[in-house]
Structure 1
Amino acid sequence: MMQSREIKYSFTQHYLIAVVLLVILSSTTFYILTTALKSSETTAFVVNLSGKQRMLSQRIALYSQLYINAIDQKNNRRIVGIQTVLENAADEMRLENERLSSGEIYPEKKVALSNTLQKLYFEKNHLKDRVNAYTALVEELIRSKTRKEAEAISDKIIKSSNALLGDLNMAVLQYQIEGDTNISNVQTMVLVVWIITLFTLLLEIVFIFQPMAHKMATLFQKIVWHEHNLQEEIKIRTNSLTIANEKLAHLASHDPLTGLKNRLNMETELQELIDHQNIYKSSYAVVMLDIDWFKKINDTYGHDAGDFVLCELSKIFLDTVRPQDSVYRAGGEEFVIIFNRITKEQVIAKCEKIRQRIQEHHFDYNDLTFHITISIGIYHPETVLVNSVTEALKLADNALYEAKRAGRNNVVAIDN
């Protein structure tokens, strides 16, 4: 009887120890996986910020050239509009630069910069100061008094943009590398915890359960259950982490409202087409589309109606283009379609079909039905060859501007 009590006491004591160890290991695994999910969210957000800063630098470079064109055309209304775009882009770029260089990504959370990023922002590349200097050029451009002075500042912006873009790309890549490294470290830690769990279970079998043969069957079943439960939890959370990473990757490269690819995808894929055309003479076309009087839709029917129009247009574009073509939301009410392997005449006909279909489409929102039109600008390499995304987009934008100036609801292909 005494021996039975001693065995029972010893079994209970050792069993409690085993359970505590399993709880600690399970909690540790849960904490690691939760930390990994939060780290993934922060990494994706930081990559988005750095990617956005890169996009803003290109927008400033593009609109600085448009500003000179507007001065040449003596179009005061367009000058004021471009000034507003430049000011907003510069302010936003300064803000994102401060957030990224300080690590204060969220108001309540600060992310420590790695040594590589510290050197990139403050030491070797002085990225923070260069971004601030770059945005300061925007203020100088807007304050310029003469066309000659404005052109000189615009040239500085273009030259600075080319060098700055390389370092901004380095920052984006570094954030991605560090994010991948963090996730890899967490996965390693999960594996270590899992190995420790198995090792702990082995020790329990050898030193606790074997001396108590009459309790072995019952105890073994409990251990198997705990092990299976732990492995399932690890599997579930690993799958959840994989799904979360896939969603984050999708969010980073797609517009959250329409589901279309965003500008990051567009620049990469367009550069590939440009390079391919220069080597193999494979034709393509860049089409820029803008909704006419979109602000009036938001002001009249509300921003929800405006979002409905953007989503509806996205469906029409996707339904109209071919499988080898790609549709992007460049920002606001502006879309870009890249047509692959198409002649200039074919793309003009295709765009005219899109324009007419949208003109005839009934936008039924709640109890309202209204119509909209779009203006379309086309760049095709049959007219002039380009070597960069910036050149192609600028020519398409110039054509779009001509379509707007011609009274909107037009399709214009750049002539030279």
Structure 2
Amino acid sequence: MLSTQSLSQKITLHYALAVFILALLSTSVYLAFSYLIAKNQASAAVINISGQQRMLSQRAALFASQLVLAKVPSEQERIRQSLANTIETMALNHQTLTQGNDALNIAAEHSDAIKRLYFGDSYLDARVKKYLNHLQSLLELNRPQLSSRNHHYLYIERQFTPLLIDLDRVVFQYQLEGEANVALIGQAEQALWLITLFILMLEVKFIFRPMKREVQEALIERDAYETRLQEDVEKKTRALKKANQKLNKLSNTDALTGLRNRRSLEHKLKQFYRGYLSHHQSYTLAIIDLDHFKQLNDRYGHKCGDQVLQHISDTFMNGLTSEDIIARYGGEEFVVLMPNCGIHSAQHKIEQLLAQIKQQPLQCEKQSIYISFSAGLAEAKHTRSEDEYDIFKQADQALYRAKKQGREQVKLQEFEALTLNESLQ
């Protein structure tokens, strides 16, 4: 199964790749638009300067005419200053348009159409420079030299209109190129939008979709792993529960006979005693001891002795009710707890078992083994009990009397016997 750390690393890698591509795309778009916008700004500046150049050529011609016709010296000086400023600005503009200007981000390179206008057959570059030279020469003439027949003035008058027409053509060409730049920006914007959409689709297909699939597969694997883990835990829990039940049964069961052992019997005896104290639920306890079992073991062997114990256990299990608690207390000694059973009914049960066992000898090693037992009974309500073992002591005393008086019989506790005698009297 893909570990959480590996999945996290993969997602991080995919995400970093997607972010890198988006950053690269954003940077490319930014640079492309910056270039196009700068180019458009330069184009706008060129259009503005070329339009200004056209206007300046008109103003220069006007100031030249006014300078020739001016009569008042002060007025003439004012016109000279205006013409000088116009010539200077026009010269700077012409230099910018033909050679570029770094401050205004106007490149020195020109389109073929602009080159043809400035440096082609129309010789606009040379004509503008010559026009400016004649203006400067006219500006430098003194008052007596200024006249309408001056060759500088005549050149300006003759070249003004053709120059204005060619400057109009330059302005128009710059406008066309500016519009082309605007259209190019629109096309670039559309192209970049399509490229961005295409790259995003590629990212979805090759980055985010595989990443989503890996996450889904990882989640499915995790769920499957958790399911397997849960099933394994449940399986082991059931096995542990079964083992605990088996262990509990082994710890509470006699291995040879399958009956309860001493530990289990004492636990039940405590329960019965608490029930008697709290709800007066009486019960009878019988202690049963096989007669002459040691001699039987010595004579027939331990294998037959074990078969005798198993035979006795089976007889008890079949002859008593499901409510009765039967236990092998140790060796050849058995104990029976009979809830809600008076001592006389219990005596009848045990005597029936004794008669049945005496009538059915056990066959072992091709020999018939006759078995009998002695038993002592005590009932809780006839016992002055200080703890759960008092009834056991009373039954054990009754068993002792049964053995002392010849075995193969069932005896009741002395307190019960006295009570019966008093009742009979």
Higher relative contact order (CA 8 A, sep 6+): 1
Give the TM-score, by structure 2 length: 0.45
Please, what TM-score do these two structures have when normalized by structure 1? Answer: 0.46
